[in-house]
Amino acid sequence: MSDMDSSTLQSYDLDFVWHPFTQMKEWEEEPPIVISEGKGSYLFDTNGNRYLDGVASLWTNLHGHCRKEINDAIKAQVDKLEHSTLLGLANDKSAILAKRLVDIAPAGLCKVFYSDNGSTAVEVAIKMAFQYQQQRKGNYGGKTKFITFKNAYHGDTLGAVSVGGIDIFHEVFRPLLFPTIQAPSPYCYRCEMGGNGSGDSCERFCLQELERLMAEHAEETAGLVIEPLIQGAGGMIVQPDGFIREIRELCNRYDILMIADEVAVGFGRTGVMFACQQEGVTPDIMALSKGITAGYLPLAATMTNRKVYDAFLGEYKELKTFFHGHTFTGNPIACAAALASLDLFEKTGLLEELPEKIDHLARRLTELNKLNHVGNIRQRGMVAGIELVEDKKTKRPFAWDERIGVQVCLDARKKGLFLRPLGNVIVIFPPLSISIEELDFLMDGIGGSIREITG
Ligand SMILES: Cc1ncc(COP(=O)(O)O)c(C=O)c1O
Q: The domain containing residue 384 runs over which residues?
A: 33-66+349-454
Model pLDDT, residue 165? 95
CATH of the domain at 361: 3.90.1150.10
For residue 15, is it within any domain? no
- The DSSP 8-state label assigned to residue 31 in this structure reads P
Model pLDDT, residue 192? 44
Looking at ligand 1, which atom is closest to the CA of residue 117?
A: 10
Tell me if residue 340 falls in helix, strand or coil: helix
Regarding whether 301 and 217 lie in a shared domain, the answer is yes
Distance CA 43, CA 50 (A): 6
Cβ partners under 8 Å of residue 332, min gap 6? 77, 80, 81, 82, 83, 84, 91, 92, 93, 94
Tell me if residue 33 falls in helix, strand or coil: coil
Looking at ligand 1, which atom is closest to the CA of residue 300?
A: 10
Specify the residue with its C-alpha closest to ligand 1, atom 3. Answer: 154
Q: Using the CB atoms, write b or e for 385-397: b if 16+ within 10 Å.
A: bbbbbbebeeeeb
H or E element that contains 223: strand 221-226
pLDDT digits (tens, 9 = 90+) for 57-105: 999 999 999 999 999 999 999 999 999 999 999 999 999 999 999 999 9
Looking at ligand 1, which atom is closest to the CA of residue 59?
A: 14
Regarding whether 129 and 250 lie in a shared domain, the answer is yes
Give the Cα-Cα-Cα angle 305, 311, 317 (nearest 5 degrees). 145
Tally Cβ neighbours within 10 Å of residue 344: 20
Regarding whether 420 and 379 lie in a shared domain, the answer is yes
- Measured in Å, residue 155 CA sits from the centre of ligand 1 at 5
Model pLDDT, residue 195? 46
- Measured in Å, residue 47 CA sits from the centre of ligand 1 at 31
- Measured in Å, residue 120 CA sits from the centre of ligand 1 at 9
Distance CA 432, CA 265 (A): 12
Tell me if residue 67 falls in helix, strand or coil: coil
Regarding whether 248 and 283 lie in a shared domain, the answer is yes
Distance CA 177, CA 161 (A): 7
CATH of the domain at 266: 3.40.640.10
Model pLDDT, residue 205? 77
Domain boundary, last residue among 308, 329, 348: 348
For residue 334, is it within any domain? yes
Specify the residue with its C-alpha closest to ligand 1, atom 10. Answer: 118
Looking at ligand 1, which atom is closest to the CA of residue 227?
A: 1
- The number of helices, as runs of H, and strands, as runs of E, in the chain is 15, 17
For residue 111, is it within any domain? yes
- Measured in Å, residue 139 CA sits from the centre of ligand 1 at 34
pLDDT under 50: residue ranges of the chain: 189-197
223, 190 Cβ separation under 8 angstroms: no
- Measured in Å, residue 99 CA sits from the centre of ligand 1 at 24
Distance CA 384, CA 184 (A): 21
For residue 8, is it within any domain? no
Beta-strand relationship, 417-418 and 396-397: unpaired
Regarding whether 409 and 292 lie in a shared domain, the answer is no
For ligand 1, which residues put their CB under 6 angstroms from it?
117-119, 122, 153-155, 227, 232-233, 261, 263-264, 289
- Measured in Å, residue 153 CA sits from the centre of ligand 1 at 7
Count structural domains, the chain.
2
Ligand 1 mutation target, pool 120, 153, 231, most atoms within 8 A of CB: 153
Give the residue among 256, 431, 258 at the shortest CA–CA distance from 350. 431
- Measured in Å, residue 318 CA sits from the centre of ligand 1 at 34
